[in-house]
Structure 1
Amino acid sequence: MTGQKEGVGREFWRVSLEDLAVAMETRQSEYGNPDEPLKFKIYRGRPRRPLTTRVPRELTKVTALDEPALSTLLRYGYGISRQEFDTNGTWPYHRMVASARCLFGVQLYVCLADGVYHYDAPHHALVLLREGDHRRLLTRASGTTGAVPEAVLVLSGLFAKTAYIYRDYAYRLCTQEAGLLAGNIDLVARAMGLWAHVHHQFVDEPVHKLFGLDADEEPALVVLPLHFPGNTRAGIRRATVPRSGSALAATIDPIDPEVLSGGLKVAQACPTLTEVNRASLRTNTATFAAAEPGAHGDSRAPGAVGLPLPSADVPRIDLAEVLRARDSGPGVFRPVASRVDGVELWTRLARVRTGVTSDAVPAGGSVPLEIYLTVGDLSGIPAGCYRLDQDTRALRPAGPADTGTDAITAIERVTIPGPVFQHMNAVVHLVGDRDWAFDTFGDRGYRVISQEAGLLAHRVCVAAAAQGLSGRIVNAYHAEGVRAALGLTERRHTPVFQILLARTGPGGRVIVPVEPEAVE
């Protein structure tokens, strides 16, 4: 699969990131759409395991993934954080992780020693899908060997949840959201003393069969085994014996649980999405690619003199508090004038890559995603466009040499009208290498780079939230215009995420936190 130059994934990349008008031409109204699914996926007639609502208000390290620890992990990793009521009232539910229009297209499944479950977020409960310990099967499907994980979490894309508005474009949104959630679960697990490995590569058939998923309607997107650090030292490594997906699937009895969800049939309504998704599926671990360090083109401008990162006393964040407060801003993103410590934000952004373990990260290297920071109003950093140097953590000047204070305006010009840019503190772009993704992972490359970017995007939003900033992920931009504003000269370097950072007002919203009964 490596070395593929053409494929449906590459073409979908071109359309969904380079030709926004075509990508959105089948978009439906979100008001009164008869294809609208239920807000949440609900299983009927399955045993339920309620989780305790008494969770700590601060995340601390645990020594066992017992029921209280599992409840805390799921609550902060995926749970519902608040309801919002505004004049439209169309997207009332919010998690601690951003979701396109708050439709929650990505589902969370949990594999424990005693069974396989779906996480029912609104009721904070686990729904039993099958009994037995299947954790080892999932590690085999991921092409690894070693100690058995404490648990394996699986994120799937229930496409109909998002496709009822966005049709084929839902593939981009669901893979982005899977990355955002993987990034959050990684942060929460780390704060609790657990280690997560992000697997974008796995043989799909046994994973789908294990959870009773339809590969067209709700494919698995990410597999996340969780270990305590002692187990990782015991040797979690890539298996040397290839595993056949069909052989692993043959060891599992089929299940067909009854589900209430509603919505359209994606395989019929979204032919392009279905084609791209099918092309990404893998049947044998022998086809898995190993990302190579230095195998991607460099987007940085040669010889640019940068701003070295000053020493800054950055306050430690209470992750649980920050996640409860994290916000994407009101329906119309309207910044309010404020002074934000730019050096503190810069310091936090320089740390967003640390500690992530993923099969998209080369040995001794990092995934080819660059962080660009366009500064509007931040204290300690002159207005302008910068690239965050991965090695030195310096800010290197980027974009046209004469941009300066007009850098934010340049980004506004290439963003579809909607957000207000006056008083914008900063805009972050995550720039991915298209050729690296597809040359390394074939048609699965689309989801790999989209999910890796989502992982970093969530960390950017958490870094901003630690300083009281809203982080609004915006896909409505012209990629070629963003390239020019950032000084990118090759089409392979593509802005995958655009994140607006600013302090915002309530915007007419009434916000009701969904607070558990907390353990102090």
Structure 2
Amino acid sequence: MTGTASTARPAEVTASDSPFPMALWSEAVCSRRAIPDTLASGAPAPGTTDPDQDPLPAGPRLPLAPPPLRLPPAPGSPAGLADPAVLAALLHYSYGLLQHDPTPGGRPLHRAVASARCRYPSELTLVTPEAAYRFDALHHQLVGLDGSSAARRPPAPGSSAFLVITSRFARTARLYGDYAPRLCAQEAGMLLGAVHLVAAALGLRARPGADLGTLLGLCADWLPGTGEHPMAYVELGSESRSVGGPATPRTDGPAWLPPDLASVLRARHSGAAIFDPDPVPAPAQLLPDLGAALADAPFDDFSCHLLVGRVTGTEPGHHVHNGGRTRLVYDGDPLPLLEQIGQTEGRVSVNFRATACTAYIAVRRGEAVAKYGADAFRRLHLTAGAVAHRICVVAARHGLCARVHNGYDAARAAHLLGLSPDEETVLFQVALGTARPSASFRVPVVF
């Protein structure tokens, strides 16, 4: 299976056969026209079916080891998927079920990655040369996607493997209609970033990939004919070294790896339904950690604009990260810019007066569209999404909530942030702040 993928030619995608038609840029990024009027009431979008009826895979089930409470689970042990604790930790802390909110009328299940209204359209599949296994986060199990004998046993020690990300647009489209492909692409990018970060913490060699030919080759033997779209993959290296302690310096992985990454991921929070944080300063270490995390993102073709409002020891201002470095653009209160950028449909839907920092992740859309055509939409959202997840993790490390919020004007953002006209586009707005006390609460999920 992986041999087929490695020799596959890059596929050409046209606007007519891509799940991301070129019109999405104008309908779902440069405007929000694709959002149905029914979203405000929570009613299903017109013409959609109930995705909650999606059947679970019917193949043989392989229970995973209980997720460890720390990453790595056993310092000094070989780093490889043949270790049941490593495999369980990789899947659980990348896309597993981490929190339960029993508040009546709320969204009860929360995974390791942010998702629009907790629809979780992404699927995570472990692909080895012998078989493919779907991760069932609700039951913390692997499910063989074919009836072969190989699918009935765990991956062989030392075998190469890929984690493949696919997306079921219908799950999100039930509420968001034609806006769903953008949200699904954003989540796929964040999940790609999550797998990369957790794999590095476990001592695994991880290479995120977006090449369409390789992706289609990896999916050829098991992906359903309709309803599920290939998005990205992470190639996982075979066992090659031992995992150090949580604070051991790393030479082949991200430099920013908090020693308590597992507890940070369990604490990640997107905030209340209306993002109205407590107006208190964030810790001084927030900005250095953001700079370090952004510098080691899996892709480097992005810029991140940080509009700082309330961070201890830092004056309000506009900072930009690109080329692996963060620099100050100007000093001064960013609130006027934030409220201009964040005004859509005649209102500002985030209380920027109380946020600690707001990040805008921009990509070079003109260059990518010229090179990849319709497939640029998927590729660029993978890049920006991986960065957005790192920002969410840094926020959680410092006790902050991070809200991915698409309520911004992309053209106005490009102009006010000084982006290259007709070339750069903002794909993510991430607001960081301290959550106010509320009546809702979350409890950890333990398998």
TM-score range, shorter chain: 0.7 to 0.9
Distance 1:333 1:467 in 2: 18
2:292 maps to 1:351: yes
Deviation at 1:504, TM superposition (A): 0.7
Distance 2:282 2:116 in 1: 27
Match of 1:73 among 90, 106, 116: 90
Match of 1:465 among 378, 396, 407: 396
Match of 2:137 among 111, 121, 130: 121
Deviation at 1:224, TM superposition (A): 1.4
1:377-416 aligned within 5 A: 377-397=310-330, 406-413=336-343, 416=347
2:279 maps to 1:337: yes
2:187 maps to 1:174: no
- Whether the 8 Å CA contact 1:4–1:439 is kept in 2: the answer is no
- Whether the 8 Å CA contact 1:115–1:133 is kept in 2: the answer is yes
2:51 aligned partner = 37
Distance 2:53 2:102 in 1: 15
Distance 1:32 1:495 in 2: 28
- Relative to the length of structure 1, the TM-score reads 0.71
1:24-103 aligned within 5 A: 24-25=35-36, 28=39, 29-31=41-43, 35-38=49-52, 42-44=56-58, 46-60=59-73, 62-63=77-78, 64-65=80-81, 66-89=83-106, 91-103=107-119
- Whether the 8 Å CA contact 2:122–2:168 is kept in 1: the answer is yes
- Whether the 8 Å CA contact 2:209–2:233 is kept in 1: the answer is yes
Identity score, percent:
29
Distance 2:198 2:445 in 1: 18
Letter in 1 for 2:388: A
- Give the 3 Å change call, closer, same or farther, for CA 485–448 of structure 1 in structure 2: same
Deviation at 1:403, TM superposition (A): 5.8
Deviation at 1:84, TM superposition (A): 1.5
2:122 maps to 1:106: yes
Distance 1:405 1:166 in 2: 29
The unaligned stretches of length 5 or more in structure 1 are 135-147, 232-313
1:308-323 aligned within 5 A: 316-323=258-265
1:156-195 aligned within 5 A: 156-195=166-205
2:222 aligned partner = 211
Distance 1:194 1:490 in 2: 40
Larger gyration radius, structure 1 or structure 2: 1
Moved over 6 A (4+): 1-8
Deviation at 1:53, TM superposition (A): 1.6
Letter in 2 for 1:30: G
1:375 aligned partner = 308
Deviation at 1:378, TM superposition (A): 1.3
Root-mean-square deviation (CA), in Å?
3.0
Deviation at 1:462, TM superposition (A): 0.6
- Whether the 8 Å CA contact 1:376–1:408 is kept in 2: the answer is no
Deviation at 1:505, TM superposition (A): 2.3
- Whether the 8 Å CA contact 2:57–2:145 is kept in 1: the answer is no
Letter in 2 for 1:349: L
Distance 2:198 2:326 in 1: 24
Deviation at 1:59, TM superposition (A): 2.6
Deviation at 1:10, TM superposition (A): 3.5
Distance 1:87 1:464 in 2: 27
Deviation at 1:389, TM superposition (A): 4.3
- Whether the 8 Å CA contact 2:90–2:199 is kept in 1: the answer is yes
- Give the 3 Å change call, closer, same or farther, for CA 423–2 of structure 1 in structure 2: same
- Give the 3 Å change call, closer, same or farther, for CA 26–438 of structure 1 in structure 2: farther
- Relative to the length of structure 2, the TM-score reads 0.82
Match of 2:375 among 415, 428, 444: 444
- Whether the 8 Å CA contact 1:3–1:440 is kept in 2: the answer is no
- Whether the 8 Å CA contact 1:111–1:133 is kept in 2: the answer is no
- Give the 3 Å change call, closer, same or farther, for CA 58–39 of structure 1 in structure 2: farther
- Whether the 8 Å CA contact 1:330–1:506 is kept in 2: the answer is no
Deviation at 1:193, TM superposition (A): 0.5
| Structure 1 residues 350-408: Cα deviation after superposition (integer angstroms, max 9, x where no partner) | 12244455xxx5xxxx31x11101111112222122212435432333xxx97656444
Deviation at 1:425, TM superposition (A): 0.6
Deviation at 1:27, TM superposition (A): 5.3
- Give the 3 Å change call, closer, same or farther, for CA 384–469 of structure 1 in structure 2: same
Aligned length: 405
- Whether the 8 Å CA contact 2:341–2:410 is kept in 1: the answer is no
Distance 1:3 1:105 in 2: 25
1:483 aligned partner = 414
1:280-319 aligned within 5 A: 316-319=258-261
Deviation at 1:31, TM superposition (A): 4.0
1:138 aligned partner = none
2:253 aligned partner = none
